[in-house]
Amino acid sequence: MAGSNPQRERILARVRAATADNVPTTAPAASKAPIFAEIPDPLERFLRECAANLTEVICTRDSMESAAACDRVLQSLPPGELFFQDTPVFRSWASHVDSARTVRWSSGGPPSESTQATFTLAHGFVAQTGSILSSSLCGGRGASIVAPCHVVFGTTEQVVADIDAALQIANHDLLSASYVGLISGSSRTADIEKILVQGAHGPLRVVVILQAAS
Amino acid sequence: MSTIPLQEFLRRATEKCADLTHRATIQRNIDSYDVAVAKGKQRFSDWEAARSRCSEIKAEAIAHLDRYLEQFEGKVKERGGHVFWAETAEDARQYIAGLAQSRGVKTIVKSKSMVTEEIHLSGALEKQGAAVWETDLGEYIVQLRNEPPYHIVTPAMHLTRVQIAQTFREKIPSEMNGEEPPQLVAAARRKLRKAFFSAEMGISGANFLVADAGMVAISTNEGNGRLTTTLPRIHVAITGIEKIIPRLSDLATLWPVLATAGTGQPITTYSTLIGGPRQPGETDGPEEFHVVLLDNGRSQVLASREHREMLKCIRCGACLNVCPVYRQIGGHAYGTTYQGPIGSVLTPNLKPSAGFEHLAFASSLCSACGSACPVRINLPHQLLLNRRDAMAKTGQSGSRTMFRLFRWTAMSSVRFRVMGWLSRKGISTAKALGIAGSKLDPMRPWTQYRNGPEVPTQTFREWWRTHGRQ
């Protein structure tokens, strides 16, 4: 690509000439003060932040309760297609799905336009912002954005304190993925008179089923 | 100074200042922003330390721009992406338009990108027959109205729900199902969903380019950025070369600071990193991923020791929101892609011959912009530098002569006294002859909007003689 794009060399040459003086752009202020307060109880903070960003969290004690929580979510959904990340836990939960519904699996392709809800795992949960750490490895890129409802399953062991910790997970485990992201609530907009409206283009509803660590 | 942009600016600014509905709309929106940002800053244990940290990150990136850009490029290519370096707006337009044409692209969805506004990309793509859909709600609204974005972050900030409903009734009547904000949002969602699922190309900007990860960071609340970069078979991300940051871990500070300064949120709903096209074993995602790195005058700004700090800008829009001039005249008056204080300092340096030097004077120099900037760009100082440059460029002999005369006068008490006497007599005579405030008044540019000074019955020296010793 470099060979077919001579502009690259010209831009880099100009950049090098411009920065050759080594003059810092700003005087190094180097404040070492902590920027964010410490988070003593990440789980409590995660639940609080989710309530603020309108993510529904269902806390469960074990896999039985998680399956029951999934059933309740399924019953609350309008009729239509469902999409699951292809994992053993969802294979087991999907056996309870009403036979009238079409079920798609990530191993069979991406969710379709008409999908009503997607079910995926997560790489982590961020207490600082009530965020879900997701990637293209969680059922694909569209799995967390295409449907009106996104249901995420994870355990309390996956809750990390802050964005820095989440980015460390991304740095160690997820750099092979084409997409990595933090999802902090439902899709929203305030472009009309600064009035918050949920469900702009992505999910109107985000549900986390959070199972206690075994 | 070129007179056309200046005259246009004065005309639009005058018009907007007199539009009370417009001013009330802006006031309401910015008041709501002020409350959210004040609350958002409380989430930081030390907001000032966060600003310093962000400033250092961006300064480091700019100081070693070549190294970080090459590192970024290498990582993107490792994952099968393409990187195109564009020296000018024309080069970037040609590359993207050529790509669209060669791949038979008919429908394009765009997530919000100020760089695509800067290079006028949509027009170029439409000219070759492609349908281009802005998918950020604010951008979509102004696209339907054939207007440029009004604000870096909230492009339709100047419109009321009534105006937006009227636009939707005219342009997308079949999607309308009510005129309240939720119904308007639903109408846009229905319309744009068809575009998302039929588009062959998605074009996004980038908030940051992460050098060590080789990933493009995009922040959106609506999820349109996610859909734009996921569903079409080609994804093009275009951004300025200055958007590079050294490390993935830098986002732990930059993401919350950008969100807080931009909207008052703790973090944007979708904080997304895109590193390439669909990888082996992945379910979906584009088959092609292109990053266009745009110079378009940025390396010129970098070459100026005085101005290079402008390249730290993260386009949060905070300086616009706090600017007392922007709050009165709004975004369209500037006639530039980037409005407000950052636009006033950036535009004349990115486009030296476009005639925007006058924008440095569209400021009260109150320093609110400098205090609000989350990366500590000294915007008031930059505005002063631009004023100096504008004066040097245009050599306004009238102003120079006036200041020279004032300096000569002020350096002698006798001359100062004589000049004071002449000025008082001049103003009194002008008033007596009815010249004051008329078109013949040499002070008219000042007095047509303001009351001229009253001539005192007693000079300060006279007053001092009687009262000074008491």
B449 vs A59, higher pLDDT:
A59
Say yes or no: A76 contacts chain B, CB-CB below 8 A.
Answer: no
**Eight-state DSSP code of residue B190:** H
Distance CA A198, CA A201 (A): 9
Distance CA A83, CA A90 (A): 10
Rounded average pLDDT over A148-156: 98
Both tokens of B250, joined, read 């830098």
Q: Which residues of chain B are within 8 Å of residue A180 when distances are taken between CB atoms?
A: 215, 272-273, 275
Both tokens of A203, joined, read 């999910």
Q: Looking at chain B from residue 410 to 429, which residues have their Cβ under 8 Å from any Cβ of chain A?
A: none
- 3-class DSSP assignment, residue A195: coil
Q: Tokens 């054939």 — which residue?
A: B146
Say yes or no: B249 contacts chain A, CB-CB below 8 A.
Answer: yes
Probe site for chain B from A168, A179, A183, A204 (most B CB atoms < 10 A): A179
Look at A200 and B224 and tell me if their CB atoms are within 8 Å: yes
Q: Convert the pLDDT of each residue in B88-116 to its tens digit.
A: 999 999 999 999 999 999 999 999 999 99
Query: At residue B60, what are phi and psi to the nearest 5 degrees?
Result: -65, -45
**Among B426, B209, B423, which residue's Cα sits nearest to residue B314?**
B209
Rounded average pLDDT over A45-49: 98
**Among B293, B315, B306, B299, which residue's Cα sits nearest to residue B375?**
B315
Which amino acid does the sequence have at B175? E
Q: Which residues of chain B are within 8 Å of residue A106 when distances are taken between CB atoms?
A: 283
CB-nearest partner of A15 from B251, B271, B302? B302
Q: Looking at chain B from residue 177 to 216, which residues have their Cβ under 8 Å from any Cβ of chain A?
A: 181-182, 184-186, 188-189, 192-193, 196-197, 213, 215
User: Which chain A residue shows the shortest CA-CA distance from B185?
Assistant: A200
Look at B154 and A191 and tell me if their CB atoms are within 8 Å: yes
pLDDT at A26: 54
Probe site for chain A from B161, B180, B185, B208 (most A CB atoms < 10 A): B185
Distance CA B397, CA B431 (A): 27
CB within 8 Å of B7: residues ≥ 6 apart: none
How many residue contacts between A and B have a Cβ separation below 8 Å?
Answer: 286
Helices (H) and strands (E) in chain A, counts: 5, 12
- List residues bridging with B245 in a β-sheet: B210
Average pLDDT of the residues of chain A? 93
User: Which chain A residue shows the shortest CA-CA distance from B68?
Assistant: A12
User: Which chain A residue shows the shortest CA-CA distance from B270?
Assistant: A183
Q: Tokens 């008491």 — which residue?
A: B470
Q: Looking at chain A from residue 113 to 152, which residues have their Cβ under 8 Å from any Cβ of chain B?
A: 113, 128-129, 131, 136-137, 139-146
CB within 8 Å of A40: residues ≥ 6 apart: none
CB-nearest partner of B273 from A8, A128, A181? A181
Residues in chain B where the model's pLDDT stays below 50: 1
Distance CA A2, CA A12 (A): 11
Q: Is the pLDDT of residue A2 over 50?
A: no
Say yes or no: B12 contacts chain A, CB-CB below 8 A.
Answer: no
B208-210 vs B82-86, strand pairing mode: unpaired
Say yes or no: A99 contacts chain B, CB-CB below 8 A.
Answer: no
Question: DSSP readout, A79-121?
Answer: SS-EEE---HHHHHHHTTS-TTS-EEEGGG-PPPTT--EEEEE
CB-nearest partner of A18 from B28, B189, B303? B303
CB within 8 Å of A70: residues ≥ 6 apart: A93, A96, A119, A151, A153, A209
Q: Where are the domains of chain B?
A: 1-42+320-395, 48-296, 407-467
- CA angle (B74 as vertex; B70, B79 as ends), nearest 5: 150
Distance CA B270, CA A202 (A): 10
pLDDT-based confidence at A30, cuts 50/70/90? low
> Burial code of A58-87, b = ≥16 C-beta within 10 A, e = fewer?
bebeeeeebbebbeebbeebeeebbbbbeb
Which amino acid does the sequence have at B186? A
Look at A19 and B66 and tell me if their CB atoms are within 8 Å: yes
**Eight-state DSSP code of residue A28:** -
Q: Is the pLDDT of residue A136 over 90?
A: yes
**Among B358, B361, B250, B368, which residue's Cα sits nearest to residue B312?**
B250
- 3-class DSSP assignment, residue B101: helix
- Chain B: give the shortest CA distance to residue A20, in Å: 9
Distance CA B313, CA B44 (A): 21
Look at B44 and A35 and tell me if their CB atoms are within 8 Å: yes
> What are the DSSP E strand ranges found in B168-265?
201-204, 208-210, 215-220, 234-240, 244-245
Say yes or no: A51 contacts chain B, CB-CB below 8 A.
Answer: no
Probe site for chain B from A178, A188, A194 (most B CB atoms < 10 A): A178
Q: Convert the pLDDT of each residue in A4-14 to its tens digit.
A: 689 999 999 99
Q: Which CATH class is domain B48-296?
A: alpha beta
Q: Which residues of chain B are within 8 Å of residue A90 when distances are taken between CB atoms?
A: none
Q: Is the pLDDT of residue A22 over 80?
A: no
Say yes or no: A162 contacts chain B, CB-CB below 8 A.
Answer: yes
Both tokens of B146, joined, read 């054939």
pLDDT at A96: 84
For B207, half-sphere exposure in the C-beta direction (CA atoms, 13 angstrom radius) is: 28
Which amino acid does the sequence have at B163? Q
**Among B111, B172, B222, B13, which residue's Cα sits nearest to residue A192?**
B222
Look at B252 and A197 and tell me if their CB atoms are within 8 Å: no
Q: Is the pLDDT of residue A61 over 70?
A: yes
Q: Which residues of chain A are within 8 Å of residue B267 when distances are taken between CB atoms?
A: 129, 131, 163, 182, 184
pLDDT at A1: 42
pLDDT at B441: 83
Distance CA B470, CA B466 (A): 8
Look at A25 and B155 and tell me if their CB atoms are within 8 Å: no
For B190, half-sphere exposure in the C-beta direction (CA atoms, 13 angstrom radius) is: 13
> What are the DSSP E strand ranges found in B268-375?
270-274, 288-294
> Burial code of B285-313, b = ≥16 C-beta within 10 A, e = fewer?
bbebbbbbbbbbbbbbbbbeeebbbbbbb
CB-nearest partner of B249 from A24, A164, A175? A164
Say yes or no: A184 contacts chain B, CB-CB below 8 A.
Answer: yes
CB-nearest partner of A189 from B53, B137, B160? B137
Would you tell me the crossing angle of helices A6-19 and B65-78 to the nearest 10 degrees? Answer: 150
Neighbours of B369 (CB within 10 A): 29
Look at A33 and B46 and tell me if their CB atoms are within 8 Å: yes
User: Which chain A residue shows the shortest CA-CA distance from B291?
Assistant: A1
Query: At residue A209, what are phi and psi to the nearest 5 degrees?
Result: -95, 110
Q: Which residues of chain A are within 8 Å of residue B160 when distances are taken between CB atoms?
A: 193
Look at B223 and A137 and tell me if their CB atoms are within 8 Å: no
- Chain A: give the shortest CA distance to residue B278, in Å: 6
Probe site for chain B from A25, A114, A183 (most B CB atoms < 10 A): A25
A131-135 vs A124-126, strand pairing mode: antiparallel
- Chain A: give the shortest CA distance to residue B270, in Å: 5
Domains of chain A: 41-211 (3.40.50.10420)
Distance CA A90, CA A153 (A): 9
Would you tell me the crossing angle of helices A163-173 and B251-263 to the nearest 10 degrees? Answer: 130
- List residues bridging with B110 in a β-sheet: B134, B203
CA dihedral B316, B322, B323, B324 (to 10 degrees): 160
Q: Which residues of chain A are within 8 Å of residue B84 when distances are taken between CB atoms?
A: 1, 5
